[in-house]
Amino acid sequence: MTENGSLGPIDAQMKIGRSVVSAYDYMEWVEEKRKEAEKQGRLNPFDATMVAQITPGELGSVFHSLKFAEDLVVEWLINYKFKNWTVTETHKKPVTEEMKRERAEEIAKELTNHSKWRSHGRSIKIRDIEEIGLKITKIDDNKELSEIVYRIQTVCKLLFETSTTFKIFATQENKIFRQAVPAEAPIKIPQKPNIDVVEIEQKCPKCGKIYKIFAKFTPNSQIDKDFLNKGLITFPKNSKLKCNCGFEIDLTGIKNQIELQIGKKIL
């Protein structure tokens, strides 16, 4: 990990009604109310009304979601983090599968302790992770490796800030970019059988500048002259419009919408 790297708590999210809630917080609240009712023999009217709306099926789903998240972490630790852990660090004793599982379960329990981490968005730093018993290799101790990691991090930040890319999946062989498609831009489609051109207005999500664009479907140079003289710009070949503010607008969704509606390809 880098010095500014972090993990997050194990916090399965569940959709309850119209809200998404933490499975841990949900179970903790239910348990708190159960103990309160057991101790006092009753609940206040508000809590009683809330508890009455909980079904056994809903409660079971929340419980199993939380346990499933814990089970995943345990298996990942055993199969990956502890894969090459063969002897204990202090006494050099052989490490058994049972020892790996026991240690993994202890760590998973710590990572689900919301009374300790408090928030779903809490950043668990190197010191926190080492305190719960995980050994961390610090990338910053390796100058060559840390430089590569920080360069990749900087490039990703620039992509997220200046383009519509919001997620990147990368392996040694492949890279997949997820991009947000802007809301439908106003499109002026002529009411005639054979459509040669359409007009589009696209607003930059970052600075608000409005661009007027034309997309043509026939190789007619006169169309370019007419619309360029009207102050419109040509639909970009790569479906990417670079705003003056530096933001890159992805017009792929708009292009697909137009071509589907017109039944022709934009040239």
- Which residue spans within the chain are E strands per DSSP? 13-16, 19-22, 165-170, 175-179, 187-188, 197-203, 210-216, 233-234, 240-242, 248-250
Q: How many domains does the chain fold into?
A: 3
Q: Judge if 153 and 248 occupy the same domain.
A: no
In a domain, 7, yes or no: no
In a domain, 228, yes or no: yes
Q: What is the pTM of this model?
A: 0.56
Quick one: pLDDT at residue 166? 78
Q: Which residue did the predictor score with more confidence, 171 or 147?
A: 147
Q: Judge if 19 and 124 occupy the same domain.
A: yes
Q: Judge if 230 and 154 occupy the same domain.
A: no
In a domain, 59, yes or no: yes
In a domain, 214, yes or no: yes
Q: Judge if 133 and 59 occupy the same domain.
A: yes
Quick one: pLDDT at residue 186? 64
Q: Judge if 127 and 163 occupy the same domain.
A: no
At 161, is the pLDDT very low, low, confident or very high (cuts 50, 70, 90)? confident
Domain that holds residue 160: 142-179
Q: Judge if 202 and 86 occupy the same domain.
A: no
Q: Could you tell me which of 126, 124, 133, 127 has the C-alpha nearest to residue 82? A: 133
Quick one: pLDDT at residue 191? 65
Q: Judge if 125 and 162 occupy the same domain.
A: no
In a domain, 267, yes or no: no
